[in-house]
Chain A
Amino acid sequence: MIKVKGLYHSYSNDDKYAVKDANFEIKKGEVFGFLGPSGAGKSTTQGVLTGLLPIQKGEVTIAGYDIRNPKKEMFNLIGVSFEQSNVYDKLTAYENLNFYRKLFDVKTRKPKELLELVGLDHVANKKAGEFSKGMKHRLTFIRSMINNPIIWFLDEPTTGLDPAIASEIKEIIKKEKEKGVTIFLTTHNMYVADELCDRIAFIIDGEIKLIDSPRNLKLKYGKKLVEVEHFENDILKKESLSLIEPKDKARLNDIITAGNIEIMHTKEATLEEIFIKVTGKELK
């Protein structure tokens, strides 16, 4: 559904690239995550893919449309949610959606139904300008699905939302995925990437370092650890021990023999730890 080949983008039109030589393909129904720290080039990539930023170098096709000369009808097929909410402050939530749906030539969803989906139905007739940041973000989010897009671009869909609302949003994304919607999402939150994505691209300083599924990444880069809490001379100690390193294995043996164990469990490496290992940088 999405094909990107040799994509570069520079805001200053020189060789200071915000995105460098990006190559990837996203299959129909796949959820593809761009994971990287702030300033990595995630939003820039989404900007080029959705035609907001001019394509300077490389090739991008979205649902078969060349993004260099996009046909207007392509926009009936895609939905775009923005990092910064951009609704009309002077219009109510309902008016915002109702105006937006009229711009499409395809069947659209009812504003009321969408507002209910994210718990904004009780403020449907309130001006968006009086909304909190999170409420505006939710309005921007549901607006992007009003035309039943088959390709859905989500820039930081859960960032800045409280955990309960964030998990609601994640549920909505999962439901759309079940319907077969192809999703491109950007995030700097590895839990979100882990939970939602079929494949993840690690991006840093504009470069994609690696693309794989969360499971493969964990198998490849994750080391098995055991965490033990035990008493030694009446003092509670907490240790993380590898099941591969001989020294750690011997130490674990000693602790088990001593028999003063309080808690013991195995732990998988998180995507964050893998990210640091692969890129040498933190996901901040």
Chain B
Amino acid sequence: MKKLWFCFKKDLVLSFKSWYIYTELLMAFVFIIILLFIVPENFDSTRTIYAYFDLKPAEMNRIDEFINESEDEIILLDSRADVVDILKKEKSSIGMVVSKQYRQLDYEIILQGFENEKLKTLMKTDFLMHFIEETPRYKSIVTTTTLMGNNEKLSDRLNMLPVFLTMNASFMGLFIIASYIFLDKERGTIRALTVTPLSVWQYLLSKVGLLVMSGLVSSFITAIFVAGTKVNYIGLFFLLVTTNIFGSVLGLYIASFFKDMASAMGWMYSVIILLMFPSFSYYMPAFSPLALKLLPSYPMLFAYRELFFEHGNISYVYNVCLMFSILSIIIFLMANKKFKETLTI
């Protein structure tokens, strides 16, 4: 135990003198800056309508009412030509021209041209509905029922945090720990350690400890800046520890098969890409094939998300922690066994 501590202390000192640890911190800061200053709290779903109304002032009263009620932002222009001109610049907007022909109102919707049929139909229906709702004695009988127990939704900004935390734990750790091992191999320092009473597991565990520590620091900083008090920090601590251990022991196990970083790169990369797939399900819950659910990053993403909900399912989080602890022990033992043969070759 004492040796493990000395080894860890040495690794910690050395890590501050190499740039790997700073990469992780830098990544965290870049992410914080992007989330806080570039990504809006919620992505804007209202659109802007540029409109021209060719009506007499007396008839504009009704129009003002319409504008105030609308969810979309409506900007009035002076002619149809102005509408067309501005649409050429504002590619995500649409235009509307309303004029009076004899006794009926004539609506013209001007689109960009790249909208698909589905959208056009949708807009047409939307307009029709608008008028139907205005007719006397109209009654809607549509009711909405939510099937999911917890229908809490995170803001778009918070919703990105679980993805970052998963990446930080499972991908960064995986890469950095392998880099540390291969650096020791390349410099030959590992050979000097092997001819002392230090055990291979002590050497490996010290590296895992280092990675967990840097993972905790960078993740906590990110969570504090982006989510503030809207996190269950105790749960976050345990999930960070277990998932970071998992990521680093996975990196160890992959590294144990190779003699240098160059030859391990292909596998490392493939594993990371594979682990990124569950984020599709995360953003599109409808797309959750079993193959994705079986990947470890799937429960990781969803467990992290629970922590940011006001009424998150904490027992799910702790189950995931338990699962990663067990997996990590198994993988660590396998890596230790393999490294006993390959560490000094």
Contacts and interface: CB of A to CB of B under 8 A. Distances in A.
Interface of A: 50-54, 72-73, 75-76, 78, 80, 82, 84-91, 95, 99-100, 102-105, 140, 143, 147
Contact of A104 (B7, B196, B199, B344): B196
A102 B6 contact: yes
B197 A53 contact: no
Q: Count chain A CB atoms within 10 A of each CB in B18, B188, B196, B341 and give the residue with the most.
A: B196
Contacts of A80: 192, 195
A54 B341 contact: yes
B189 interface: yes
Contact of A103 (B17, B187, B196, B341): B196
Contacts of A90: 14, 17-18
Interface residues of B, number: 24
A99 B10 CA distance: 7
13 contacts: A52-B344, A53-B345, A73-B197, A82-B188, A82-B191, A86-B188, A86-B192, A88-B14, A88-B189, A90-B17, A90-B18, A91-B13, A140-B192
B207 to A, nearest CB: 14
Q: Count chain A CB atoms within 10 A of each CB in B13, B14, B192, B199 and give the residue with the most.
A: B192
Contact of B198 (A53, A78, A103, A140): A103
Given A52-B191, A90-B14, A91-B14, 7 more contacts: A75-B196, A87-B192, A88-B187, A88-B189, A99-B6, A99-B10, A147-B196
Nearest to A86: B188
Judged by DSSP, the binding face of A is loop
Contacts of A99: 6, 10
A143 B191 CA distance: 13
Nearest to B10: A99
Contacts of B192: 80, 82, 86-87, 100, 140, 143
A88 B194 CA distance: 15
A103 B203 CA distance: 11
Contacts of A50: 195
Nearest to A143: B192
A175 to B, nearest CB: 22
B6 A72 contact: no
Nearest to A75: B197
A75 B199 CA distance: 11
A156 to B, nearest CB: 14
A23 to B, nearest CB: 24
A107 to B, nearest CB: 14
Contacts of B344: 52-53
Interface string B103-116: 00000000000000
A88 B7 CA distance: 13
A42 to B, nearest CB: 16
A54 B338 CA distance: 13
B3 interface: yes
Contact of B197 (A76, A91, A140): A76
B206 to A, nearest CB: 11
B3 A102 contact: yes
B314 interface: no
A105 B14 contact: no
B27 interface: no
